[in-house]
Amino acid sequence: MRVHILNLARTLVASACVVAAAPAAAHHSFSAEFDENNCGEFSGTLVEVDWQNPHAYFFIETKTADGSTERLTFQTSSIANMTRGGTRRQYFVENIGKTLIVRGCASKNGTDNRYAASFVKLLDGPVHRVGQDVEGIFGSNR
């Protein structure tokens, strides 16, 4: 009986070690992924929204200097933060095909055309905060 309990205990400890060693999905801070010193405004046509946790993404198409089309990806704050602030998925869905102005900060990992969005605005609409205000546009974050 003692040998059986000892073997069971060893099995449980080994299983716990394996589970603890498994990689976890990490959520990183803004500064780990995006450059707060490399931000700008972008204008383009809203073409898609991908509403998922922990962050939603939306995509705009812009024209480059040579006249070709370029697709930009914007990551938002958490869906819970946006919803509390009054920006829901329906805002993006209703405005697909319209021109948006977006304030965004570039990705640090070198991925082209990937940004963290701070706010979005239709040409004739109010500003919607959809991300962190790392530049202090809406007041100090520090």
- Report the CATH number that the domain containing residue 77 is assigned in CATH: 2.40.50.140
User: In this prediction, what percent of the chain has a pLDDT beyond 90?
Assistant: 63
Domain range enclosing 52: 30-129
Does 93 map to a domain? yes
Does 16 map to a domain? no
Report the amino acid identity of residue 21: A
- What is residue 10's predicted lDDT score, i.e. its pLDDT? 56
* Whole-prediction pTM: 0.77
- Cα gap 1→8, rounded to integer Å: 11
75: Cβ contacts below 8 Å, ≥ 6 apart: 55, 56, 57, 114, 115, 116, 117, 131
35: Cβ contacts below 8 Å, ≥ 6 apart: 105, 106, 107, 108
What is the count of structural domains for the chain? 1
- Which whole number is the average pLDDT over 15-44? 67
Residue with the larger pLDDT of the pair 134 and 44: 44
